[in-house]
Amino acid sequence: MFSRVLVANRGEIAVRVIRALHELDIEAVVVYSTADAGTLPTRLADRAVCIGPPSASESYLNIASVVAAGETTGCEAVHPGYGFLSENPDFVRACEDNDLVFIGPDADVMARMGDKVEAKRELAAAGLPLVPGTEAVGPEDAAKAAAEIGYPVLLKASAGGGGKGMRLVERADDLDDAFARASGEAQAAFGDGTLYLEKLITPARHVEVQVLCDADGGVLTLGERECSIQRRHQKLIEESPSPALDEATREAMETGVAGACRAISYLNAGTFEFLLAPDGSYYFIELNARLQVEHPVSEWVTGIDIVREQLRIAAGEQVRHTGRAARRGHAIEVRLNAEDPARGFAPAPGVIERFRPPLGPGVRLDTHIEEGSVIPPYYDSLIGKLIVWNEDRPSAIERSLRALSELELRGVPTTREAALEILASETFRSGRYSTSFLDETRLAAVGAG
């Protein structure tokens, strides 16, 4: 096992990784920008290294600075968390070139899976079903393909994620303009304006399968997560297991994913994302080659510490078990973002004036904030994640509502009120919801009432 590891991230995920390292008696070194000086991660770590000014491009995304921080402090490995450099194959190669073990998949797999078109090609060959669509297309080919597949269709960035470079096109007359806008947005966000096209599955659910894979071909699947409650194609609430899957579909999905992992020689933690159609059919959409924000719900239902397992695998150990992990009960995660739902979930930086976390059985709050914490405008708006577990879904919902009601979080607008309203709604309680939930449900907390 490693003796010292660099945490190449900030915020709540940096805190999460630091705690896992300390539980394994591993020294934690964390990087930080000048905007994050004095924050909880920098105080929890054994050592903190400033790597630049607030701009992410000059700090958390600066490969040379991050690698230098690892080298100068004598780290043996780097945990990237999620976001920033976590899915950057150039960063993985830089770590390898400087004798730093990257805690995740290798650069080749990451590059192939980061290209959504290539990922779909490979995973279709491995047996995973795909949404009807195309590989990379230009405007003319997109028009022909859309006419053959049938509207509505989605244009998606080949190198993208998080809803950037994505456009819904419902009519042929709108395709050219949507293509130009999506391609331009993708070029600005990812340096690659390549697009591909997919048939829109509607109403659809977003379901994903968590995996852990070792270098000897061992694969453990940790069940699925339901991630359909979203705004701007980004998740707000996740739960496990999904209320939409029967056991036969769940087993088939996990078996297919395990075979795909072996086919592409996947290593460490990863998440296979699927669209679930109303008739129960499911389609692979992408592989996230990193730890996911919502990993705690899988930890709750399986009892497996995913970050600890990431460290073990990166150190050359095998997954403890292969096949399908045993699971129990129901878990729900609520993302707490410094955003104003009444203004279209606009980011809302500021100062945390009052913070009191909820307590009690089956309640976990992953966060880096404290009273007086400054929420800067430079980074993602996530400030915490409330995760609860209980024996079944109805009791997990009630526990989530209780915990959110106890949570005191003042000073900046947050998604807390919206989450309370979503969890209390009959549509959510029924389990019969889709990715269109916020568009179809008039909720006062999100300015739709």
Q: Is residue 292 part of a domain?
A: yes
pLDDT tens digit at each of 449 positions of the chain: 999 999 999 999 999 999 999 999 999 999 999 999 999 999 999 999 999 999 999 999 999 999 999 999 999 999 999 999 999 999 999 999 999 999 999 999 999 999 888 998 999 999 999 988 898 899 999 999 999 999 999 999 988 766 789 999 999 999 999 999 999 999 998 889 999 999 999 899 999 999 999 999 999 999 999 999 998 788 999 999 999 999 999 999 999 999 999 999 999 999 999 999 999 999 999 999 999 999 999 999 999 999 999 999 999 999 999 999 999 999 999 999 999 998 989 999 999 999 999 999 999 999 999 999 999 999 999 999 999 999 999 999 999 999 999 999 999 999 999 999 999 999 999 999 999 999 888 776 675 43
| Residue 302 DSSP class | H
Q: What is the domain-level CATH number for residue 72? A: 3.40.50.20
Where among 177, 199, 221 does a domain terminate?
A: 199
Q: Does 214 reside within a domain? A: yes
Last residue in a domain, options 148, 182, 199: 199
36 belongs to a structural domain: yes
Residue 344's domain is classified under what CATH number? Answer: 3.30.470.20
Residues with catalytic roles: 290
The domain tally of the chain equals 3
Residue-range definition of the domain harbouring residue 322:
205-446
DSSP-derived letter for residue 248 is H
Residue 433 lies in a domain: yes
Does 107 reside within a domain?
no
The 8 Å CB, 24+ separation contacts for 317-324 are 317/214, 318/214, 318/216, 318/218, 319/212, 319/213, 319/214, 319/218, 319/219, 319/220, 320/220, 321/220, 322/218, 322/219, 322/220, 323/219, 323/220, 323/221, 323/258, 324/220, 324/221, 324/223, 324/251, 324/254
